[in-house]
Amino acid sequence: MHPVLLISVLACMLLGGCRRGMTVTYSSSRVTSASTLVAGTFITSAGSWESRQGDIGTELRVDLSGNQMSWHVDVMTYMPDGSSSGGGTGSSISIPAGGGGWFVYVESPERLWLFNGTDTLLLQNASRGRTSLITAISAGKLVPEVGEVPAELISRLPENMKKFFPAPATGPARPSI
């Protein structure tokens, strides 16, 4: 019961001002925290991040152990009756000794980019009931299945990785004559 309502009912009973029976009804809704798995965020530490968009909830957990960065993504669908269903997936990649340089870039809660700090870039797709992990750079080439790679992500990569991405256009296109 809500604390203010409880105090009011008890005060009324103790002071004798209530002579008839009373029914108190209140509704309880699920309390959700603010989304922490936000597009445009670079994650560089172990921890847990979550997002709730409509009836879909996504949670990312990142752990560090020695020279390994592991992650797990859970995607849940929340039903009107309060129940939920979903699943998750995860993996790990080697990171440099000392752990520096790796990151997870949140393009959206459904598209997470994982960089090991040296030469491996992965794309974790997670949506309603489907997850996939794609090695974005394979055999020295950008894999077409990854689609467009965010410019914010490319700018954060070391030079040896930037060479796999086309240079951004500079200035407006000039008309041909």
Record the pTM: 0.73
pLDDT of residue 169: 61
The 3-state DSSP class for residue 12 equals: helix
% pLDDT > 70, the chain: 73
Number of H helices, E strands in the chain: 3, 11
The label of the residue with tokens 């990142």 reads: 62
Q: Mind listing the pLDDT tens digit for each residue in 21-70?
A: 333 322 223 334 578 999 999 999 999 999 998 888 999 999 999 999 99
pLDDT of residue 22: 31
DSSP line for 127-167: ETTEEEEEESEETTEE-GGG-PPPHHHHHHS-HHHHTTSPP
Stronger pLDDT, 5 or 88, i.e. the higher one: 88
Separation of alpha carbons 17 and 31, rounded Å:
34
Q: Collect all residues with Cβ–Cβ distance below 8 Å to 55 and sequence separation of at least 6.
A: 77, 78, 79
Q: Domain residues of the chain, as ranges?
A: 41-162
Model confidence band, residue 131 (pLDDT cutoffs 50, 70, 90): confident
